[in-house]
Amino acid sequence: MRVLVLSDIHANLAALERVLDDASGAYEEVWCLGDTVGYGPEPDECIARVRQLDALAVVGNHDWAVLRRMDVEDFNPEARRAVVWTRDHIRPENLAWLSELPNQPVVRGQFTLTHGSPRDPVWEYVLYPSVAQASFEHFTSQFCLVGHTHVPAIHVLQGDTSKVRSSALSPGQIISLQNGGRSILNPGSVGQPRDSDPRASYALLDTDALTWEIRRVAYPFEVTQAHMRAARLPERLINRLAYGW
């Protein structure tokens, strides 16, 4: 089965639509690794798209905060303002959809899906080999898919040493997962990339051929920025979309 793997859409409709156009015809199922809302100006529209796609989804930390299940004081001031704005604007039926998303890892075949890490699904970042190494003890499948860092990456467990090799992933590169050992994979962020590349990031996974491909697509971020300005979301969050940080 071919799977479209999305994460950290962050209420950025222009980015999500561009990704769905680009991936059109290349997948049978959609997996969404959380943070569908937060930061951006289109929470309802993005949730509506994800629901239309009948995606298998988990909850992220921003989703969790919008649901008032964690203290908004844990966020930096701009992120906090965006969470509060989202709480004030999201439609009840979309809040209800968020509230039903699992906050624990979900297993599909050889893949465990989570937002942060399998150890701390909502909050921990798998950014460095040390955290990745600890994470392997917290899931039993061959592969784990995570989001949250907004950086496309792969962390591979080196069988005999239990060391981890972490690599950033470039677009277009098709990674074979056949003989690579247990791995943690991150598709990057659709709506707020943070690796100095402002293009939306997503992954195509083939669960039969066991391949993983990162794709990047330029989208009209000025459209999202204009909507953020109209919504009076923080300037810093508006600016970062143009640079990918």
Q: Which residues bind Zn ion (CB under 5 A)?
A: 8, 35
Dihedral of CA atoms 5, 217, 83, 76 in degrees, nearest 10, equals 100
C-alpha closest to that of 216 among 195, 232, 239: 195
Distance CA 233, CA 245 (A): 17
Q: Least distance to Zn ion from the beta carbon of 181, Å?
A: 27
Residue with tokens 């970042």: 125
Q: Least distance to Zn ion from the beta carbon of 241, Å?
A: 13
Q: Among residues 35 and 195, whose Cβ is nearest to Zn ion? A: 35
Q: Least distance to Zn ion from the beta carbon of 68, Å?
A: 18
Q: Least distance to Zn ion from the beta carbon of 13, Å?
A: 16
Q: Among residues 123 and 142, whose Cβ is nearest to Zn ion? A: 123
Tokens, residue 34:
């959380």
Q: Among residues 8 and 197, whose Cβ is nearest to Zn ion? A: 8
Q: Least distance to Zn ion from the beta carbon of 35, Å?
A: 4
Q: Least distance to Zn ion from the beta carbon of 62, Å?
A: 6
Tokens, residue 85:
């704005």
Q: Least distance to Zn ion from the beta carbon of 28, Å?
A: 26
Q: Among residues 3 and 11, whose Cβ is nearest to Zn ion? A: 11
Q: State the Cα angle at 206 between 169 and 146, rounded to 5°.
A: 50
Produce one character per residue of 81-92: b if its CB has 16 or more CB atoms within 10 Å, e if not. Answer: bbbebbbebbee
Residue with tokens 């039993």: 140
Q: Are 117 and 124 in contact (CB under 8 A)?
A: yes
Q: Are 213 and 204 in contact (CB under 8 A)?
A: yes
Q: What DSSP character marks residue 235?
A: H
Q: Among residues 82 and 156, whose Cβ is nearest to Zn ion? A: 82
The two beta strands, 111-113 and 143-145, are: parallel
Q: Among residues 17 and 35, whose Cβ is nearest to Zn ion? A: 35
Q: Among residues 4 and 83, whose Cβ is nearest to Zn ion? A: 83
Within 10 angstroms of residue 184's Cβ, the number of other Cβ atoms is: 26
Q: Are 182 and 154 in contact (CB under 8 A)?
A: no
